[in-house]
Amino acid sequence: MPTSHPSVREPRLLLAVDAPSLLHRNHHARVATALRDRGGRPAWALHGMVRQILEVIDQFAPDAVVFGFDDRTASVRTETYPAYKAGRREKDPALVDQLQRSAALLDALGLHTVTPAGLEADDVSATAATWAEAAGWDCVIVTSDRDSFAHISARTRVLRLIDGGVNASPLLNPARLRTLYGIAAEHYLEYAALRGDTSDNLPGVPGIGEKTAPVLLGQMGSMRSVWADIDHCAGANLVAALDSYCDEEGLRRIGPGLLKRLTAPGARERFEFNLEIMAGRTDLDLGLTPDVPGSPGLLPLDPDRVAQVVGYLGVPATTDLALRVLTEPPASYDDGPRTAPEAVVVQER
């Protein structure tokens, strides 16, 4: 007789993990442990990433997990902008070793990894959010970077892992993003393009930073409206809106000065360039086949594989946790409702 399967309730949940950001963070946080796997190779960053993801899976009970990786052999962004990410320190060889081994470890576990040609983990996260929206799933992006804030929506939240681990990290939805930055989620990418990103060596529009950009976007709605007003009205509506806001808030008027910065030579070109470089690709083939039982990335996983692969890291407590959270059906298969953990509201740094 055919085996009966429990019914699946909607919405199902996709966990999209920015693997390199977690590996980098755990390398620096755990290097003093000098943990080695059973083969004697460095494993502290690998173990830290695996441990954190297990804790996240334990909290959210996703139906599928996809890990995004950077293509370390080519970069379309560097081809466009050779100074992209210039100035970063050279990676510790022990970190490089663990970065190179991480995808194979996750694949062996039965999870799903995607390394898009010439692209980055953030492109995988952007596509995962788009895929979830189209499929009627929810999505949680797990990262230690701010880049994925641009993908926050009614269906997609971002768990930003910071100091204090999973339980002390903020889970950001549109409302909480507005509380932190004063902007609508759909305008975060424009905000970032105005502000720039020093970690990627992308200067912002001169004179427009983290305090001014939210006011500009809040009063004008979008940069498309800003540029249209400059083109057709010489910025008259922009100046009026900003000065009216300042009058209401009891602030010094900023309209004329901000208009001057926006119309300075190269300002619009800088914004448009940043927008192009920062925008994540949303059209990648993730290779997710959630209706095919046993497909990579679908939970639950095979207990023998979990015990062997996680056990190789040499931390029995982590192996026990993996067996508990990876080999049980996800929350959408049980009789109770899915309850996502409350976000921890913290001040971003």
- The answer on 312 and 165 residing in a single domain is yes
CATH, residue 310: 3.40.50.1010
The domain tally of the chain equals 2
Long-range pairs, 74-81, Cβ under 8 A, ≥24: 74/117, 74/118, 75/118, 75/119, 75/120, 76/118, 76/119, 77/120, 77/277, 79/118, 80/276, 80/277, 81/202, 81/273, 81/277
Contact 318, 310 (CB under 8 A): yes
> What pLDDT, on the 0 to 100 scale, is given for residue 87?
83
Tell me if 345 is assigned to some domain.
no
- The answer on 123 and 45 residing in a single domain is yes
With a pLDDT cut of 90, the percent of the chain lying above it is 86
> What pLDDT, on the 0 to 100 scale, is given for residue 344?
44
CA pair distance 195, 210, nearest whole angstrom? 6
- The answer on 203 and 117 residing in a single domain is no
- The answer on 72 and 95 residing in a single domain is yes
- The answer on 296 and 206 residing in a single domain is no
Long-range pairs, 303-309, Cβ under 8 A, ≥24: 303/327, 305/108, 305/109, 305/110, 306/109, 306/110, 309/105, 309/108, 309/109
> What pLDDT, on the 0 to 100 scale, is given for residue 9?
60
- The answer on 167 and 252 residing in a single domain is no
CATH, residue 207: 1.10.150.20
State the amino acid at position 298 in one-letter form: L
Tell me if 4 is assigned to some domain.
no
**2, exposed or middle or buried, with CB in 10 Å at 0-12, 13-18, 19+?**
exposed
- The answer on 221 and 164 residing in a single domain is no
pLDDT tens column, 173-221: 999 999 999 999 999 999 999 999 999 999 999 999 999 999 999 999 9
Residues of the chain with pLDDT under 70: 1-9, 331-349
- The answer on 285 and 273 residing in a single domain is no
CA pair distance 21, 257, nearest whole angstrom? 38
Helix 303-311 to helix 316-326 angle, to the nearest 10 degrees? 150
Tell me if 347 is assigned to some domain.
no
- The answer on 151 and 264 residing in a single domain is no
- The answer on 32 and 150 residing in a single domain is yes
CA pair distance 282, 68, nearest whole angstrom? 13
CA pair distance 203, 195, nearest whole angstrom? 8
- The DSSP secondary structure of 61-115, one letter per residue, reads --SEEEEE---SS--HHHHH-TTTTTTPPPPPHHHHHHHHHHHHHHHHHT-EEE-
Q: Which of 299, 304, 303, 292 is nearest to 333 (CA)?
A: 299
Tell me if 349 is assigned to some domain.
no
CA pair distance 277, 81, nearest whole angstrom? 8
> What pLDDT, on the 0 to 100 scale, is given for residue 337?
38
Q: How far apart are the first and last CA of the chain?
A: 57
Give the domain range for residue 252: 185-278
pLDDT tens column, 64-77: 999 999 999 999 99
- The answer on 168 and 42 residing in a single domain is yes
How many other CB atoms sit within 10 Å of the CB of residue 65?
Answer: 29
Tell me if 344 is assigned to some domain.
no
Helix 223-233 to helix 188-195 angle, to the nearest 10 degrees? 70
